[in-house]
Amino acid sequence: MTQEVKIASPPVVQLRRTGPQFLRTAQGAVGSVTLLLVICVAVIGPLVAPHPLNQPIGLPGAAPGHGALLGTDFLGRDVLSRVLYGGPYVLELTGITIALTYVIGIAVGMTAGLTRSFIDPLLMRVVDIFITFPPLLLLLLLISGAGHSFWVLAIGIVLVLFPGVARIVRTGTLEVSTTGFVEAAVTRGERSFAVLRREILPNIAPSIIADLGVRFSSAILLAASVNFLGLGEQPPATNWGLMISENLEIISTNIWSVLVPALLLSLLAISVNLIGDAYSRSVGRSGGPS
């Protein structure tokens, strides 16, 4: 009598075990605390700003003094208030673009990696086209043709970032798809979507999460660059990238009008990278860019 041997998928417990561990490392703790502080500034800031967003309170470019903790900007508005109002746009833009980037990148990469047909090279050639296009030039062309709206900038950043994610996911999918438990699932007749969701995605998740810091930093850099060039959100609205561009002309009289928003953007990017690096070390993987 022949006994049927079933090859079961290995339980995916790595994410659950490593989560608390990487947060307890120095990198993870510093990154998490820094990220939480920046988020608090962005979320609570508009509620505690001492002055209205566009109200002049003194001479343009005035140094910090009474009634203006960080001085005034190029139009005489309170720098501290504009810093506190400028965070939500940055968090919203980066959050939406990163979410869309990984949804599209994971879908494209997993489909290409599991498909043994013309779909794989077809998808990868499309990805290659976006990779070879200079990122900032692609954004400028899109904004010039479609306008300066929030969603135009978000879509442009997604088009720049998703190819790298797709390549990482495809490589991971190709590696995992040749393992015994995936082949067993295919032999059992499970649908491709079920195989991707249950067998492949949990096993490539550490690589995806480790890559998050790189993509997040790139999204911040691209958004700040576009706003610095005056092609993103338009005055009188404010965000940290736009503040840097607006106040360059008064940097000699009030450096805080440029330094503080630049510092907050840097802390946001650094904190996510620290968390990503800590997670990468905890699972023994490298999360470098593609």
Asked whether the beta carbons of 258 and 244 are under 8 A apart, the reply is yes
- pTM for the model stands at 0.80
What pLDDT, on a 0 to 100 scale, did the predictor assign at position 19?
Answer: 47
Beta bridge partners of 65: 68
Average pLDDT in the 18-23 region? 61
What mean pLDDT is predicted for residues 14-30? 66
Q: What is the DSSP string of the chain?
A: -PPP---PPPP--HHHHHHHHHHTSHHHHHHHHHHHHHHHHHHHHHHH-SS-TT-B-SSTTPPSBTTBTT-B-TTSBBHHHHHHHSHHHHHHHHHHHHHHHHHHHHHHHHHHHH--STHHHHHHHHHHHHHHS-HHHHHHHHHHHH-S-HHHHHHHHHHHHHHHHHHHHHHHHHHHHTSHHHHHHHHTT--HHHHIIIIIHHHHHHHHHHHHHHHHHHHHHHHHHHHHTT-SSPTTS--HHHHHHHTGGGTTT-THHHHHHHHHHHHHHHHHHHHHHHHHHHHT------
Evaluate if residue 1 carries a pLDDT over 70: no
Domain ranges of the chain: 40-47+71-283
Query: Span 142-152, mean pLDDT?
Result: 84
**pLDDT per position as a tens digit, 178-208:** 777 776 766 676 676 777 777 788 888 888 8
Q: Are 224 and 240 in contact (CB under 8 A)?
A: yes
* CATH code, residues 40-47+71-283: 1.10.3720.10
pLDDT tens for 236-275 read 778 898 898 889 899 999 999 999 999 999 999 899 888 8
Give me the chain's average pLDDT, please: 82
- Count of beta carbons in the 10 Å neighbourhood of residue 181: 17
Q: What is the pLDDT of residue 144?
A: 82
One-letter amino acid of 202? P
